[in-house]
Amino acid sequence: MIPQQFEYSAPKTLDEALGLLAEGAKPLAGGMSLIPMMKLRLASPEHLVDLGRIKDLNYIREEGGAIHIGATATHQDVLSSPLLRGKCPLLAETAAHIGDVQVRNMGTIGGSVAHADPSADYPAALQALEAKIVLKGAKSERTVSAEDFFVDTFTTALEPGEIVREVIVPIDGDGTGTNYQKVLQPASGFAIVGVAVRVRKQGEKVTLARIGVTGLSNRAFRAKEAEKALEGRSGSPAEIQAVAALVGQGIDANSDLHASAEYRLHLTAVYAAKALATALGRIA
């Protein structure tokens, strides 16, 4: 219940924060993953840099045809943002599945993404959205795709000293439908599996299919074979079933107390089908 001692800084500017991080300090955003780990002494950083006071990290805005979400935007900010609800509803819908009211009030998109919990919700949506993640260090800034960002369990493309500065998600016009489906690990509220689907249709044909999956394996990923199998088709119930069956194919699935690998793979297909059907049904 008691964390170890640490030094604390709460800089007002990003540059100041990055300077401290370059010296080996660790960033603290919403703290929803880090602080419980510190209390159980599974994490013991010596120096924490609180990003919460940096005003220009907390925003959700439209810019250059995309939506930019600052690292310290909370899950509540995301799920209630009129901009996201209108123009990128998948992210808002996914945020509503994270944790609980209190966790959503504190937890941030930057913190969640950087933590890269393999059963977190956001990564599925970010994969399906082909989101870009902007990483900033003291001397550099670079943008990586969600696909390249999530490397392994609790492992991302972040280099030491870098933080997630913002997440960029696309604005999809008419003809696009999205959905996030989640199987809840009933004790923790994390995803046993989560499937995010983003589909676009022209006439009767699916022109774009993006499927992001979380919880199934060591990292969130895009189910590209399944995406390919759907593109060019109409999205009939039979096609949905066939596509859903491909989503977990070839994946080395996690196995734990709450779901064996076999069951997780099965759930992936079941919930992928639900997500596909719902997303297709939502195409305006």
Partner 1 sequence: MATTTITKTEKLVGKRIRRREDPRLITGTATYVDDIKMPGMLYAAILRSPHAAAKIRSIDISKAKALKGVHAVFVGEDTKNAGAVPCGASLPGLRVPHHNLLAIDRVYLVGHPVAVVVATDRYVARDGAELIEVDYEPEAAVADPEKALAPGAHAVHPQWADNVAFTFHQEGGDVAKAFAEADVIVKQRIVSQRLIPNSMETRGVVADWHAADRSMNLFTSTQAPHLVRSLVAQILGLEENRFRVVAPEVGGGFGAKIQTYAEEILLAWISMKLQKPVKWIESRRENFLCTIHGRGHVDFYEIAAKRDGTITGIKLKIIQDLGAYFTVLTPAIPTLSVLMMPGLYRTPNIQADIVGAFTNCTPTDAYRGAGRPEATHGIERMVDMVAAELKMDPAEIRLKNFVRNEEFPFPTATGLVYDSGDYSAPLKKAMEMAGYDQLRKEQVEARKQGKLMGIGLCAYGEICAFGPSPATPAGGWESATVKIEPSGQVTVLTGISPHGQGEETTFAQITGDELGVGIDDVLVLHGDTSLVPYGIGTFGSRSTAVGGTALYYALQDLKAKVKKFGAMLLESEDVTLANGQCTDNKTGKSVGFKEIAAAAYRAMKLPPNTEPGLLATHFWEPPNFTFPFGAHLVVTDVDRDTGNVSIRRYIAIDDCGNILNPLIVDGQVHGGVAQGIGQALWEQAVYDDNGQLVTGEFMDYTMPRAHMMPWIESGHTVTPTPVNPLGVKGVGEAGTIGASPAVVNSVVDALSPLGVKHLDMPLTPEKLWKLISAGSNA
Partner 2 sequence: MTETINVSINGTTYSHEVEPRLLLIHYLREVVGLTGPHIGCETSLCGACTVELNGKAIKSCSIFAIQCDGAKILTIEGMAADGKLHKIQEAFWNEHGLQCGFCTPGMIMTTKQILDRNRNPTDQEIRHGLDGNLCRCTGYQHIVNAVRAAARAAGA
5 touches partner 1 by CB under 8 A: yes
102 touches partner 1 by CB under 8 A: no
Distance CA 12, CA 48 (A): 14
85 touches partner 2 by CB under 8 A: no
Distance CA 195, CA 176 (A): 17
Listed ranges 70-78, 145-153, 180-188, 216-224: which one lies at the site for partner 1 (CB under 8 A): 180-188
183 contact, one of partner 2, partner 1, none, CB 5-8 Å limit per kind: partner 1
Distances from the Cα of 81 to the Cα of 13, 52, 73, 108, angstroms: 24, 19, 10, 14
Q: Checking DSSP bridges between strand 205-214 and strand 60-63, what pairing results, if any?
A: unpaired
237 contact, one of partner 1, partner 2, none, CB 5-8 Å limit per kind: none
Which residue of 87, 156, 258, 272 would you call a contact of partner 1, by CB under 8 A? 258
Provide, rounded to whole angstroms, the least separation between the CB of residue 282 and partner 2. 21
Token representation of residue 215: 């919880």
266 touches partner 1 by CB under 8 A: yes
Distance CA 41, CA 30 (A): 18
101 touches partner 1 by CB under 8 A: no
188 touches partner 1 by CB under 8 A: yes
Residue pair 92/79 in contact by the 8 Å Cβ criterion: yes
189 touches partner 2 by CB under 8 A: yes
